Amino acid sequence: MASTAINPASDALSPADLLASRRSIVPDALVGPGPSRAEIDRLVEIALRVPDHGRLSPWRLILVAGETKDRWVERLLALADTREDAAKVRVSTRKLACAPLVVVVVSAAIPGHKVPEWEQWLSAGAMCMNLLNGAHAMGYGANWLTGWHAYDAQATALLGLEEGQKVAGVVLVGSIAEPATPRPRVGAEDVARWLTL
């Protein structure tokens, strides 16, 4: 059965307005119901529509949901407790608990390839962005996180990452319990300019 996403923005807006209206939803406000299996397949399809210089597929996706997600968070919390900064990292670990779907985007860049690794990393980042916009367009909220568990070797081992693979993003997806308010953004005049020669 299709789940009922609650994103007031997604139905009424043109595609351009939809893209211009995306906001990250705080993890606690990402709740069930999450996307259905068919919607997750669609989201993955959107994620894979990513530019990829040399067609290297320098990324992998790991979908985490249901009881596996609960076990993953429990094991991360156990790892968090072994760290000196346990109190702090427990807080960021708990951010993973609420959202019904977590998509871990893994950079699987090929070192030494004629396509620079930098470009392969960018492709993984673009995949995270596609997931955010895809979720938004489908009426769900999302948030692109990393956190200690993206960089800790024992934590990434839980995901089965291979040598050289890196977590590009831990993308939380769920229905929106509390819409985000607009945040101040830099103006185009601060960061964009026309080249004049």
Ligand X SMILES: Cc1cc2nc3c(=O)[nH]c(=O)nc-3n(C[C@H](O)[C@H](O)[C@H](O)COP(=O)(O)O)c2cc1C
Where along the sequence are the contacts to ligand X (CB under 6 A)?
23-24, 143-147, 169, 183
Give me the least distance between CB of 144 and ligand X, in Å please.
Answer: 4
Of 183 and 193, the one with the shorter C-beta distance to ligand X is: 183
- Name the token pair of 54: 């040399």
CB of 96 to ligand X, least distance (A): 10
Q: Min. distance of Cβ 47 from ligand X in angstroms?
A: 15
Nearer to ligand X, 36 or 117 (CB): 117
3-state secondary structure of 49: coil
Q: How far is the CB of 196 from ligand X (least distance, A)?
A: 30
Q: Are 53 and 119 in contact (CB under 8 A)?
A: yes
Smaller CB separation from ligand X, 5 or 132? 132
Residues 6+ apart with CB under 8 A from 60: 105, 106, 108, 165
Of the pair 5, 145, the CB lying nearest ligand X is at 145
CB 69, CB 102: distance < 8 Å: yes
Q: How many CB atoms lie within 10 A of CB 154?
A: 13
* Cα gap 16→174, rounded to integer Å: 22
Closest-approach residue to ligand X (CB):
24
